[in-house]
Amino acid sequence: MIFGRSERGKPATEPVTLKILVAGGFGVGKTTLVAAVSEIRPLRTEELLTEVGRPVDDLSGVEAKHTTTVAMDFGRITLREDLVLYLFGTPGQERFWFMWDELSEGALGAVVLADTRRLEDCFAAIDYFERRDIPFLVAVNCFEDAARHPVDDVRRALDLDDGTPVVLCDARDRGSVKEVLVGVVQHAMARASGRRRTVAI
């Protein structure tokens, strides 16, 4: 079996399916990221923002946003014939964080999407994955009106371990998002491999 293709006379095997979470603050681009790369029509659970929510929804920096995810976004991408990723976008607002425990069950790893204009908004996601020992990388969504910062500066600002990858991306661009997803799979696999070596020793 080579990359999902069966050798002559041998049946093809089912592809490996992996679950990846996409987390981050309110309005950081999680829904956009999932939609940009999904090969199926993404499942969205968006609701309109209302006047009732204004006291709890901080729209600073995302004043043009009119909807919010209340449960999850779901998409799928085939990276290779033998590897399929299921993407679950988490809700960004604190009042919907109770969904995270359900969504994180069985996840291989996570993408924490960050906006340098509101970097503090991704601390909750970083803390969540660190506490549960779920491998993650930080993907800085490069908004057109946001200042660009070197990844090392972002790493220091977020107080990340040296082993946690930080990358720049455009959540609207399929190629850019695909690179992010490949990165988180590689990071999670490398961590799992390192732990197996440690146990073997």
Please check whether residue 61 lies inside any domain of the structure: yes
In whole angstroms, give the CA distance from residue 15 to residue 38: 17
Please check whether residue 142 lies inside any domain of the structure: yes
Query: Residue 136 is part of a domain; what is its CATH number?
Result: 3.40.50.300
Domain that holds residue 28: 16-200
Please check whether residue 87 lies inside any domain of the structure: yes
Please check whether residue 51 lies inside any domain of the structure: yes
Say what the pLDDT of residue 196 is. Answer: 74
**Total structural domains in the chain?**
1
Say what the pLDDT of residue 70 is. Answer: 47
Number of other residues whose CB lies within 10 A of the CB of residue 187 = 18
Please check whether residue 111 lies inside any domain of the structure: yes
pLDDT mean values, one per 10 residues, the chain (201 residues) = 52 86 92 95 64 49 50 89 94 68 93 95 94 97 88 96 95 97 97 77 59
Please check whether residue 1 lies inside any domain of the structure: no
Please check whether residue 4 lies inside any domain of the structure: no
Comparing C-alpha atoms, which of 177, 159, 146, 169 is closest to residue 33?
A: 177
Say what the pLDDT of residue 67 is. Answer: 54
Angle subtended at Cα 138 by Cα 55 and Cα 60, rounded to the nearest 5 degrees:
25
In whole angstroms, give the CA distance from residue 110 to residue 138: 9
Say what the pLDDT of residue 72 is. Answer: 80
Say what the pLDDT of residue 99 is. Answer: 74
In whole angstroms, give the CA distance from residue 139 to residue 169: 6
Comparing C-alpha atoms, which of 195, 192, 165, 201 is closest to residue 181?
A: 165
